[in-house]
């Protein structure tokens, strides 16, 4: 169950939580301390980040339906997001560019979330989807436990810009882990297909033999019952005769029940002085 791919995806989720907690929990205080950004502007930028992230999740669902290259989607999204966060942490943007950059970062962060879940689905062993998601999503708790301690330590050291710097490093690591985990998962699926027997020719042969109009259909083999041993042949014949006798007795019993019901209907009708419909005894 704890395959290298599952462990890698657990680390991937932990890194996701680390990068997100740095922006959502410490970006306001880091912007105010590092660049003197007004508190209202920093809060507005964070609001735009979180709102765009919710919209990005919705758009990411459509993107996940359009492609199967979910690892590449996650890696590209986080690479671009890392560049945007690096610009926020080093350039000291104005209010309008800051809000726009934070909105773009939130949108890209939300876009990769559906692709992230599809990576887990592809890596899950057959019949263990729930357990896989339970193990992998525990990475969120690990990241949520480490993130506040790490970014709080950075702020105590008087390096607010490193809140964004560490977030960039974590995003680059996240993109790398996504690609590595997807490569291992694809290799495992290839090995599984190679080890599985090829049932294609057998299925096609069975379909051809069942099709009555197919000229390639295999004719029934004659003398199959004669090729059996004498004892097995007699046992098969006794079973066939016994089944035929049961069917005949069942048919005679049902016919008697039907005739008896017809007589009862006639007697009831005569007792009431009415006329009964003729009973068709041949049915």
Tens digits of pLDDT across the chain (283 residues) = 567 777 877 888 888 888 888 888 899 999 999 898 999 999 999 999 999 999 999 998 888 888 888 878 888 888 898 899 999 988 888 899 999 999 999 999 888 888 878 877 777 777 778 888 888 888 888 888 898 899 999 999 888 989 999 999 988 888 887 777 666 656 655 655 565 555 555 556 665 655 555 555 555 454 444 555 555 556 667 777 777 777 777 776 666 676 666 655 655 655 555 444 454 444 4
Q: 253 is written with which tokens? A: 């019993």
pTM score, two decimals? 0.61
Q: Residue 160 half-sphere exposure, CB side, CA atoms within 13 Å?
A: 15
Identify whether the C-beta of residue 73 lies closer than 8 Å to the C-beta of residue 125.
no
Radius of gyration of the chain (CA): 37
Nearest to 101 by CA among 92, 88, 91: 88
Q: How far, in Å, CA of 139 to CA of 102, rounded?
A: 25
Q: Which CATH superfamily is domain 4-194 in?
A: MFS general substrate transporter like domains (1.20.1250.20)
**Cβ atoms within 10 A of the Cβ of 281, count?**
9
**Cβ atoms within 10 A of the Cβ of 132, count?**
20
Using CA atoms, how far residue 118 sits from 64, 74, 122, 173, 259, in Å, is 8, 10, 6, 19, 66
Nearest to 113 by CA among 69, 58, 68, 168: 58
Nearest-10 crossing angle of helices 70-91, 39-66: 160
């Amino acid at each position: 169950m704890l395959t290298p791919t599952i462990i890698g995806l657990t680390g991937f989720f932990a890194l996701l939580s680390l990068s997100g907690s740095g922006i959502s929990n410490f970006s306001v205080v880091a912007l105010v301390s590092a660049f003197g950004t007004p508190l209202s502007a920093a809060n507005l930028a964070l609001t735009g980040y979180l709102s765009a992230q919710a919209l990005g999740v919705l758009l990411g669902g459509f993107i996940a339906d359009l492609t199967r290259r979910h690892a590449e989607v996650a890696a590209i999204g986080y690479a671009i997001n890392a560049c945007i966060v690096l610009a926020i942490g080093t350039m000291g943007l104005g209010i309008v560019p800051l809000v726009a950059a934070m909105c773009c970062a939130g949108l890209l962060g939300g876009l990769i979330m559906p692709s992230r879940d599809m990576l887990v689905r592809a890596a899950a062993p057959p019949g263990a989807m729930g357990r896989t998601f339970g193990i992998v999503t525990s990475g969120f708790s690990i990241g949520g436990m480490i993130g506040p301690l790490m970014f709080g330590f950075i702020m105590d050291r008087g390096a607010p810009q490193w809140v964004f710097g560490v977030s960039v490093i974590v995003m680059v690591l996240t993109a790398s882990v996504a690609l590595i985990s997807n490569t291992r998962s694809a290799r495992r699926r290839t090995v599984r297909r190679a080890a599985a027997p090829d049932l294609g020719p057998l299925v096609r042969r069975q379909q051809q033999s069942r099709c009555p109009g197919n000229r390639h259909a295999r004719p029934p083999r004659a003398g199959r019952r004669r090729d059996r041993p004498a004892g097995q042949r007699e046992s098969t014949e006794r079973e066939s005769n016994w089944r035929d006798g049961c069917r005949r007795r069942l048919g005679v019993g049902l016919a008697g029940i039907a005739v008896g019901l017809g007589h009862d209907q006639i007697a009831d009708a005569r007792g009431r002085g009415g006329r009964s419909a003729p009973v068709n005894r041949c049915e």
